A and B are shown apart, each in its own frame.
Chain A
């Protein structure tokens, strides 16, 4: 007697649940610490909070503009400059997402290693037109509707400013590194860079609204943790 076919909805839900479990597991994955390497950790604080996103005043508009989320403007990127030689050995082509949601790019700041492919899905009920005129990577994805996505591969290290041609208040930063010794601060401003070989390094903290800050650290031959925190004093 043939088994009844599961409804497509249930199949889709089951597959989605499996995918969600995998994503959650990946997010909680603790990086494997290589022996003889260290971790640089600390925090990035602000004397004055970075300004939030602002919509351009459009006197021709007929509706009250919605509020924009400003929380991710505190996200900073901390990286080693220069990076240890071993940093350039890895060869991967990861995929990451930069969503278009509620007329904002989410996340607002993305730090990736060169060779990464970034997907730009549109999750709004309106068109967006993602583009960049940056020398590091210039592109224009055109207009595409809800549920569709286009991708761009970033091969060259540098900073890429991303905009929407339709909504001038939408912007994002993609920092492309030639190595993997970088970290994005979390909601509390904390960061950690793992598997750093022993040696002396300059660590740089970057935020879109601030002049970059830097500091020196020494990772001992035995590895271990080094603390280095930053405070952006001026805008």
Chain B
């Protein structure tokens, strides 16, 4: 049975069940075991939208559409001591084989100090959306372009000339380049919200200040459980909360993003570390009464070689910015919105100068209804506008049912 059909059946079953019956039969909080040392909770999210095999605006890879997805996740934490915890999360999308989204050990060296070290497949340090991508914290259904939209570039294949790159504009869902891996595959987003990186992270909090730094195997756009180029990424974020409800943060990251398999076939003595992704981000959140407003800005630069004409590489820049918000109309009903823009720098080909990928604008509005505290129904309208590709404009309507415990 196709996964989307299974999702539809689950969605229909959930909708057909009276809320009271659901409340009595489903857990409403974490399941505890081992005297509370082990906690397990989960989330099931069914998102139903129209099929899209032409425009691919919301694809997170070639197989998954963020507006047409059934996702189950189970999170667990075992804390055998006050200073030590093991944390993990398993996820299955469209009923596929579950995979470890998070798996790390957390250590607090001094119990009284808010300083923690985490090692393993750790949460992202850069920005904020990746750490709040859970359905309950998303005012709409879709994802911000910086964290979801697939640009055309790959870590394991590169263009020979600039035209190879511009030919792939708006084809990030399945692009191909002549040097390196010849198989067509999805490109990378600015920051991946769908995979977490492996490494070590330190986090410190004191008063109004919050800081985190990490060393990881992959990069923002291509996180890895195992290293693919023997060159780590450094990332960090500093945030301040000058007033209750106002949080301002800034992030930075730098790491080699190109696979060593590609770097070593380039002319000359090239190393993967010659081709870095660097990124800077700024984020802000303000909330008061029934309002919640957030904004984030991500600038990313990849060093990409054109194997024939520029093996040293050229800088490809991308800038994403969005504003999102939520207003609670009643205890059960909320309105959400996001306005989003992703733009790209220019490259020069023999014939013209144009942006290396197609700029895109997105606007989304959502209406959310809390059937019960941990069961929410949402409907959203999302409008996309791109200046290249087979489809330039498309509006999607999607519905979502999310349950968590």
Q: Is the CB of A57 within 8 A of B331?
A: no
Say yes or no: is B343 at the interface (Cβ < 8 Å to chain A).
Answer: no
Say yes or no: is A94 at the interface (Cβ < 8 Å to chain B).
Answer: no
Q: Is the CB of B30 within 8 A of A145?
A: no
State which residues 81-101 of B face A: CB under 8 Å.
Answer: 82-83, 85, 87-89, 101
Chain A positions within 8 Å of B205 at CB level:
63
Say yes or no: is B287 at the interface (Cβ < 8 Å to chain A).
Answer: yes
State which residues 128-146 of A face B: CB under 8 Å.
Answer: 131-133, 138-140, 142-146
Say yes or no: is B349 at the interface (Cβ < 8 Å to chain A).
Answer: no
Residue of B nearest to A54 (CB): B30
Given that A62-B212, A64-B85, A163-B373 are known contacts, is A142 also in contact with B245, CB under 8 Å in the complex?
Answer: no
Contact of A56 among B41, B101, B372 (CB under 8 A): B41
Q: Is the CB of A127 within 8 A of B123?
A: no
Q: Is the CB of A59 within 8 A of B87?
A: yes
Say yes or no: is A27 at the interface (Cβ < 8 Å to chain B).
Answer: no
Q: Is the CB of A57 within 8 A of B372?
A: no
Q: Is the CB of A63 within 8 A of B244?
A: no
Say yes or no: is B76 at the interface (Cβ < 8 Å to chain A).
Answer: yes
Q: Is the CB of A60 within 8 A of B123?
A: yes
Chain B 35-46: CB-based contact to A (< 8 A → 1; otherwise 0): 010011100000
Chain B 14-54: CB-based contact to A (< 8 A → 1; otherwise 0): 00000000000000011010001001110000000000000
Closest chain B CB from A63 CB (angstroms): 5
Q: Is the CB of A59 within 8 A of B102?
A: yes
State which residues 115-169 of B face A: CB under 8 Å.
Answer: 116, 118, 123, 130-134
Say yes or no: is A61 at the interface (Cβ < 8 Å to chain B).
Answer: yes
Closest chain A CB from B316 CB (angstroms): 29
Given that A54-B39, A59-B101 are known contacts, is A143 also in contact with B288, CB under 8 Å in the complex?
Answer: yes
The A-B contact count (CB < 8 A) is: 102
Chain B positions within 8 Å of A163 at CB level:
373
Given that A140-B290, A140-B328, A163-B373 are known contacts, is A59 also in contact with B203, CB under 8 Å in the complex?
Answer: no
A6 to B40, alpha carbons, bound, how many Å? 58
Chain B positions within 8 Å of A54 at CB level:
29-30, 32, 36, 39
Say yes or no: is A16 at the interface (Cβ < 8 Å to chain B).
Answer: no
Chain A 145-166: CB-based contact to B (< 8 A → 1; otherwise 0): 1100000000000000101000
Q: Is the CB of B87 within 8 A of A140?
A: no
State which residues 60-116 of B face A: CB under 8 Å.
Answer: 75-77, 79, 82-83, 85, 87-89, 101-102, 106, 108, 114, 116
Q: Is the CB of A51 within 8 A of B32?
A: yes
Q: Is the CB of B123 within 8 A of A133?
A: no
Q: Is the CB of B203 within 8 A of A63?
A: yes
Closest chain B CB from A169 CB (angstroms): 8
Closest chain A CB from B84 CB (angstroms): 9
Say yes or no: is A34 at the interface (Cβ < 8 Å to chain B).
Answer: no
A127 to B131, alpha carbons, bound, how many Å? 19
A126 to B32, alpha carbons, bound, how many Å? 27
Say yes or no: is A125 at the interface (Cβ < 8 Å to chain B).
Answer: yes
Given that A140-B330, A143-B245 are known contacts, is A63 also in contact with B75, CB under 8 Å in the complex?
Answer: no
Q: Is the CB of B89 within 8 A of A59?
A: yes
Closest chain B CB from A64 CB (angstroms): 4
Chain B positions within 8 Å of A95 at CB level:
none
Say yes or no: is A211 at the interface (Cβ < 8 Å to chain B).
Answer: no
Which of A62, A67, A125, A163 has the largest number of chain B CB atoms within 10 A?
Answer: A62
Chain A 38-67: CB-based contact to B (< 8 A → 1; otherwise 0): 000000000000011011111111111001
Given that A64-B108, A163-B373 are known contacts, is A59 also in contact with B32, CB under 8 Å in the complex?
Answer: no
Closest chain A CB from B104 CB (angstroms): 8
Contact of B132 among A60, A63, A133 (CB under 8 A): A60
Q: Is the CB of B201 within 8 A of A126?
A: no
Extra contacts besides A60-B130, A61-B123, A63-B114 (7): CB < 8 Å: A57-B89, A59-B75, A59-B102, A62-B201, A62-B203, A63-B108, A140-B328
Closest 8 CB pairs of A and B: A62-B203, A59-B102, A142-B289, A60-B131, A140-B331, A145-B244, A57-B75, A57-B77
A-B contact pairs, 11 of them (CB 8 A): A54-B29, A56-B30, A56-B75, A59-B75, A59-B87, A60-B132, A64-B82, A140-B290, A142-B289, A143-B288, A144-B289
